[in-house]
Chain A
Amino acid sequence: MRNVGIALAGALALAGCATAHAPIDVADQVTRAVYSDDLNGTVAHFDGDLRDQVKTADVDQLSKLMHEMGSYQKLSMVNADDQNRRYDYEANFDRGSVLVQMRFDPDGKVAAYRISPIQQ
């Protein structure tokens, strides 16, 4: 069942790559890829510098952290700063949520992606 979920999330992430460019869509795709422990999907929207920083073990660790909160549900916007290309979202899971914070570079690539657990 988990594999199906992972495959579905990966498929959704890959399918979204072609069309999604809105920050929230990119955030959702990256978050789903991380949740699915998918390294390639995670870095798909990252710029070169950020891509170099990502290691398989890091993605695996974040994926485990997310799975501790259950299944990934949705992403909702918390704050958007278009001028500085900074966006905050709340990612909801079955048993918790995390704050997803992203910064885009001028080319629209992800220059920073960080998550912080939200205390319930």
Chain B
Amino acid sequence: MTKRIIAMALCAGLLSVGAGAPALADGAASTRNIIFGAAAAGVGTAVVINHNKKVHQKIDEKDAQIHSLDQQRSDAETSYQSEHQAYLHEVAIANHYMAENASLKREVAGLQNRRQVSLNGAPGAPPLRVASVSYGWGRL
């Protein structure tokens, strides 16, 4: 914005210099004025073009930044989805093992109850308190 104002002031100054000259005009001065005017117009145009180029460059940079942020957000979402899927998979596996473990515990408890009943023997006989550890060979 500041550059634009400077460029406009420069143009105006050059034009005013050129404009003040015609009172003393002769052929050489006219030619000089034309050259000055053309030069001023050229400089002004170059300044404006350069300014526009910088503005476009900034806009492009902003767009690239926004695009990069979008890409990062997309990557983050993809990563989150992937991690979430992995987490759900682990939860499913854990649930499966917990269910299996609970089933085994129920089975062991049932076996222990049955064994306790069988070990109680005759009614009134004191139950045998068998240690949970066993020694020997083979599976019963």
Give A contacts to B, CB under 8 Å. Answer: 46, 49-50, 53-54, 58, 61-62, 65, 78-79, 86, 88, 90, 99, 101-103, 110-120
Q: Mark B100-140, 1 if CB is under 8 A from A, else 0.
A: 00000000000000010011010000001111111111111
Q: Judging by beta carbons under 8 Å apart, are A118 and B138 in contact?
A: no
**Interface range on chain B: under 10, 10 to 19, 20 to 34, or 35 or more?**
10 to 19
Main secondary structure of the interface of A (DSSP, over half): strand
Contacts of A118 in B (CB 8 A): 128-131
Q: Known contacts A61-B135, A65-B135, A79-B119: does B128 contact A114 (CB below 8 Å)? A: no
> In the complex, which of the residues B115, B118, B129, B137 contacts A112, with contact meaning CB atoms closer than 8 Å?
B137
Select from chain B the residue with minimum beta-carbon distance to A52.
B137
> In the complex, which of the residues B118, B132, B136 contacts A114, with contact meaning CB atoms closer than 8 Å?
B136
Q: How far is the CA of A50 from the CA of B135 in the complex (A)?
A: 14
Contacts of A120 in B (CB 8 A): 129
